[in-house]
Amino acid sequence: MTSTASDAPRPHRARSVALLTAVSAVSAISPLIALPLITRAAGPDGFAEIAIGQALGTLAATIITFGWAVRGPVEAARSSHPARVFRASIVVRGANSLLVLPLVAVVAAFASHADDHALAIVSALAFSLQGLSLSWYAVGVGRPLLSLIFDAVPRIVLNLAGALAALLTATPLLYPAILLVGTLAAFLAATWFIGLRERFSVRAALADARGAYRGGWRTALAAGLLTFSETAPLSTLGVASSPAAIGFAPFDRVLKYGYIGVYMITGSFQGWVSSASGDASLRRMRRAVGIHVVLAVALGAGFALVVPWATPVVLGPGFEISTLTALFGGIALAAMTLATALGMCVVLPAGRDGAYLTAVCVGALLIVPAVLVGSSLAGVAGAAGGVAAVQLLVMTVFAVTALPVLRKR
């Protein structure tokens, strides 16, 4: 295998973190820009189908990714040949896709409430392909332009084009169909540009992939369980045929877009933290957590105060979210923001993968019973309260592990 100048590790500076954060924010808001069009094209029932498909697809995307979104930035930042890391991820994620995509289509059909199940199935497949994103690699090598060209811009264009097509033709299925085709095309273009243009050893790529399966299962399991704990509420209510499922869908989607934004922003700090060592790494960890404390307060308060009146205005009639439900959502989003920072910017860079997995397991084990019990007691607000309680507990477990690291002198 030959090495090129573009394959060499790049220094991570505050400017690259700021640019990556800005690009991540653009990626995060792209579905929100299209959301008012989608809800008006699909209506409450159709939107619930899309939301169920998105929840299942998000979980499938995490399985496809096999932890690269979590450990990938660290490996790319510390590797002398980051493109080789990317090629290993192509093999792993491609193989996973062949297994996961048929399965998620079947599960979406069971969770769907529609007669033909098509909207939920295609939505699940489209959002599953987000597992092929290269944003983690751009973070690891400190190259915001890669993320902008191959992730942020395609997301905005595809979301707007799909939503407009669905609205103008009164065919909601066009939205996930356009996302599906466009996301696959963006992945193929990125794969060629980053991993396949130069000469490389196929045997080495396969060997690296086998090593990734052997060494990355713990992080992959943690990532899968974390996504499960965040996508299970709506899927659980749908599979259980709960009357709260349709009313919970708009709350769940708005909250999940907040989650996505946090992950993208927090991920922008991973390469910056991981590319340093010793006291410099510790200082960066503390700065990252401090920034996220402010972000958690802002996002939590904003969700609780803005969502109740903004949701019906933006999404249209039939998509109301109560004040109590929004309050629980704000608590959940704030807790998740801080937990994500502690996990991705402290616990994982410190090499405490087992502790990371333990914290995530807590959420995965408790989320389904918490949502079912909450919805049975107080409907949509009760389900939201269950989500908030679980997120607070997960944050606490992460804090117990991270605080000793942050207190080191």
Cα distance between residue 23 and residue 156, in whole Å: 11
Q: Indicate the range of 178-192, 290-304, 316-330 predicted with least confidence.
A: 316-330
pTM above 0.75, yes or no: no
What confidence tens digit (pLDDT) does each residue in 70-121 have?
A: 777 778 777 778 888 888 888 889 899 999 999 999 999 888 877 778 899 9
Q: Find the range with the poorest average confidence among 8-12, 132-136, 158-162, 189-193.
A: 8-12
Query: What pLDDT, on a 0 to 100 scale, did the predictor assign at position 14?
Result: 53
For the stretch 269-309, pLDDT in tens is 876 787 677 788 888 899 999 999 999 999 999 999 998 88
Residue count of the chain: 409
152 touches 30 (CB < 8 A): yes
| Residue 16 confidence (pLDDT) | 63
Q: Average per-residue pLDDT in the chain?
A: 83
Question: Which pair of tokens denotes residue 138?
Answer: 């751009």
Cα 196 to Cα 192, 199, 228, 321, 346, distances in angstroms: 5, 7, 33, 47, 33
CB burial class (10 A; 0-12, 13-18, 19+) of residue 11? exposed
Strands (E) across 244-295 are located at none
